[in-house]
Chain A
Amino acid sequence: MKDVKILGTGCANCKNTLALVEQVAREKGVPIKLEKVEDLPAIMGYGVMSTPGVVIDGVVVHSGGVPARAKVERWF
């Protein structure tokens, strides 16, 4: 079970990122625990300054926009 966190304050790009990650994981049949982090101090705690960011198992794998689909596929 991968622990995936989407960092973002709730803008459209953050929601798109969440939906994309959820969709790709489902297509690949990878079980994930998806969580959205909207608390600013928590987001900053990961060292991410441009949202949306993506954290998998505690590691920041992406920040600064909706990730490309190909990139998301590589995570799972």
Chain B
Amino acid sequence: MSAESHVLASPSPGRWLAGIAVAAVVWFLAYSNLTAFADAVIAALGLTRATHFGEAVHFFVYDTPKVLLLLTGIVFAMGIVQTFFAPERTRALLSGKRLGIGNVLAATLGIVTPFCSCSAVPLFIGFLSAGVPLGVTFSFLIAAPMVNEVALVLLFGMFGWKVAAMYLGLGLLVAIVAGFVIGELKMERHLEDWVQKIHAGQVDPTVGLNLGWVERFEAGWSHVRQIVGKVWPYILLGIGLGAAIHGYVPEDFMASFMGRDAWWAVPAAVILGVPMYTNAAGIIPIVEALIGKGAALGTVLAFMMAVIALSAPEMIILRKALKPRLIATFAGVVATGILLVGYVFNAVL
């Protein structure tokens, strides 16, 4: 590559900072004028919020930019944070950690370590081979897909910070406790034989530490294009569905069979969620629709966690490395944790 094209490809940190400053100002201006924008759109269309249809359109043109703005901002920031936590580095941080503190650290690192969901098994084995205990590795593996920035932003945007914070806290708790329990059960011999024999070569634990800020900013931007580019149709669908049922369908439509009084609703939601497989964004339209119709929040969040954290395809991949009894234990422990979360949510809110 020529020097010139390199300069073109990566502008100076100064230009990035200036660009980010401008973008931040535009972002805050846009975010603080969401209601005015929605009102203006309604007025321009000759609608009023007094009608069902006007209210639905207002809901849509208010929520869509709000969630997309939040998502873009948070995903950009997370893209930058993730450059500090390459899987190799996370592994080095967790290597040799004891159960307990190791589980807490692993679940937390699960939020900020980037990896493609299909890397779950290689990552799992890579961690074990570097001396990360089995239970600690599981905490990471459970937290990473379940507690992620897309799920948190969407919950925050649609249901407020309390719901998002509870999802974060309880999601971490499930990952920590489930990993701890699996570790205490001492199931190392239920790993497939080839896994027990593997010793990964030394990987540089400083990967990602020597990056410059330009590379980090670029990583943030590419994260935005990747994530927001992929999830926006689901978001439109989710908010559209929310808008459509906003004011039309009776609010307590689902309450009789997914309300908080139906004790069996939480286990049913978890069992229903396991064979389904989608990411956090794909599940949001369903969550929005269920809650909009009066389903209890704990029941719906348990469903969401079960869909994301426990999935049949993932178990089939994990089967290459784990013997059936360990897979069953993993599924059982995590499902129990999610059940408890569902009941706690329903009891508290």
Contacts and interface: CB of A to CB of B under 8 A. Distances in A.
A73 B6 CA distance: 12
A70 B9 contact: yes
A51 B122 contact: yes
Interface in A4-56: 8-11, 13-14, 40-41, 43-52
A58 interface: no
B198 A41 contact: yes
Contact of A11 (B116, B123, B129): B116
Given A40-B321, A50-B122, A74-B1, A13 B203 contact: no
Contacts of A64: 86-87, 114-115, 119
A49 B91 contact: yes
A44 B118 contact: no
Contacts of B91: 49
Contact of B116 (A44, A50, A73): A50
B317 A9 contact: yes
A73 B9 CA distance: 13
A14 B118 contact: yes
A11 B118 contact: yes
Given A40-B320, A41-B198, A49-B91, A10 B122 contact: no
Given A40-B122, A47-B203, A70-B1, A13 B88 contact: no
Size range of the interface on B?
Answer: 20 to 34
A68 B88 CA distance: 19
A54 to B, nearest CB: 14
B122 A49 contact: yes
Interface residues of A, number: 24
Given A50-B87, A50-B115, A73-B1, A44 B198 contact: yes
B208 to A, nearest CB: 10
B14 interface: no
A52 B118 CA distance: 9
A39 to B, nearest CB: 10
B125 interface: yes
Contact of B119 (A41, A47, A49, A70): A49
Given A9-B317, A40-B320, A74-B1, A50 B123 contact: yes
B117 interface: yes
A20 B12 CA distance: 27
B127 interface: yes
B102 interface: no
B127 A49 contact: yes
A9 B117 CA distance: 11
Nearest to B208: A64
A65 B200 contact: no
A10 B194 CA distance: 20
Contact of B200 (A8, A9, A10, A47): A47
26 contacts: A9-B121, A9-B122, A10-B118, A11-B116, A40-B122, A40-B321, A44-B125, A44-B126, A44-B198, A48-B122, A49-B88, A49-B122, A49-B126, A50-B115, A50-B122, A50-B123, A50-B126, A51-B118, A51-B119, A52-B116, A64-B86, A64-B114, A65-B114, A65-B116, A68-B222, A74-B1
Interface of B: 1, 9, 86-88, 91, 114-119, 121-123, 125-127, 129, 194, 198, 200-203, 222, 317, 320-321
Given A14-B118, A40-B121, A64-B119, 19 more contacts: A9-B121, A11-B118, A13-B118, A40-B321, A44-B122, A44-B126, A44-B129, A47-B126, A47-B203, A48-B126, A49-B88, A49-B127, A49-B200, A51-B116, A51-B119, A64-B115, A65-B114, A70-B9, A74-B1
